[in-house]
Amino acid sequence: MMSTGNHPHYEKPWLSLDEQCNKLIKHGMQNVEQYRAELSQIGYYRLSGFWYMFRQIDKATHSRSSNFIPGSDFGDVLRIYRFDQQLRSLLFSSIASLEVSLRSRLAYNIGEQDPFLYLKPKTLDPALNAIDYGRFIIKFSDRQNHSREDFVKHFKRDYDGELPIWAATEIMEFAMLRNLYGFLPYQMRIKIAASYGTDQAVLKSWLNCLNFIRNLCAHHGRLYNRPLTVTPSITSTMPLLKHALHSSTKMYGGIAILVFLLSSISPETDSQKLSQLLSNIPADIPQVDVARSMGIPKNWQKEKLWQTPQEGNQD
């Protein structure tokens, strides 16, 4: 057996589709044959993250065994998978709405002081991390050099190539916008955060969390039953988010802060779509509590956060 360090080499064999079906049936999953096409199309390994919560807990080891809880149905696994697909698509588009807004607010506030402030590290936050800023500039330069946008060619052809902030933000991805916000002078961060109804430190943590979720969505990662390894700052002093206090490590925590931020951007579109989708979460599967696994509180629909948003939300 090959090994790397103190760990054995992975040697589980490849399984044919028939063998995959038989293995699931052997461990107690029902109606597998009915969904052979879906298993083949989506893949055994990818779907394993969605049937994990259907696996019994071994009383001796307190870990998940290979056997499924009696009554586990492959159709229910696929229902959760499809819900996850819909949530991933909707969150990605909703974060895109926030991204456009963030670009605009960064460009406006930075441009008011100095259109090229972002290129002058000595005028940014005194606590600026030189390594992080250097990586940001390298990434920005790479995107500028490889951009095919006409406006980028215009500034290179007719000027010295340096882009004013209102042009520069248009070629920055969400993670770069998040980083740029963190580099700004303190008072400027306060002003931008206030436009979203929160303070600068909280907004910074929220942007970090939403960047994590965005990356999951962009790379088709599973959202269901996934902890937030980048957690948003939620405290009991935030009336609209207080109900999500204990969900800050779950996906609902990220969804809640996104809805809060969206209330100043598109209150009648993205937030309502998210509310409708969460209302249709699979809730009748005896073996698993899908809502609980994602940190969705009971009676969440009655929370003020999900009512018709008001201008100027205050946390």
pLDDT tens column, 162-173: 999 999 999 999
| pLDDT tens-digit series, residues 233-286 | 999 999 999 999 999 999 999 999 999 999 888 756 889 999 999 999 999 999
User: Do 293 and 185 belong together in one domain?
Assistant: yes
| pLDDT tens-digit series, residues 3-52 | 556 888 888 899 999 999 999 999 999 999 999 999 999 999 999 999 99
User: Do 44 and 169 belong together in one domain?
Assistant: no
User: Do 129 and 219 belong together in one domain?
Assistant: yes
* Count of beta carbons in the 10 Å neighbourhood of residue 153: 12
* Mean pLDDT confidence for 116-134: 97
User: Do 160 and 245 belong together in one domain?
Assistant: yes
User: Do 136 and 174 belong together in one domain?
Assistant: yes
Predicted confidence at residue 311, as pLDDT, reads 43
Instruction: Identify the sign of the CA torsion 229, 234, 235, 236.
Output: negative
Classify 232 in phi/psi space as left (phi over 0), alpha (psi -120 to 50) or beta.
beta
Can you tell me whether residue 69 is helix, strand or coil?
Answer: coil
User: Do 209 and 272 belong together in one domain?
Assistant: yes
Domain region containing 159: 91-306
Residue 81 lies in a domain: no
| Whole-prediction pTM | 0.91
Residue 51 lies in a domain: yes
Predicted confidence at residue 299, as pLDDT, reads 94
Residue 286 lies in a domain: yes
Residue 311 lies in a domain: no
User: Do 139 and 174 belong together in one domain?
Assistant: yes
Helix 174-183 × helix 130-146 angle, to 10°: 140
Query: Considering its fold, how many domains does the chain have in total?
Result: 2
User: Do 233 and 96 belong together in one domain?
Assistant: yes
The maximal CA–CA distance of the chain, rounded, in angstroms, is 72
Separation between Cα atoms, residue 47 and residue 120, nearest integer Å: 48
User: Do 42 and 99 belong together in one domain?
Assistant: no
* Count of beta carbons in the 10 Å neighbourhood of residue 35: 20
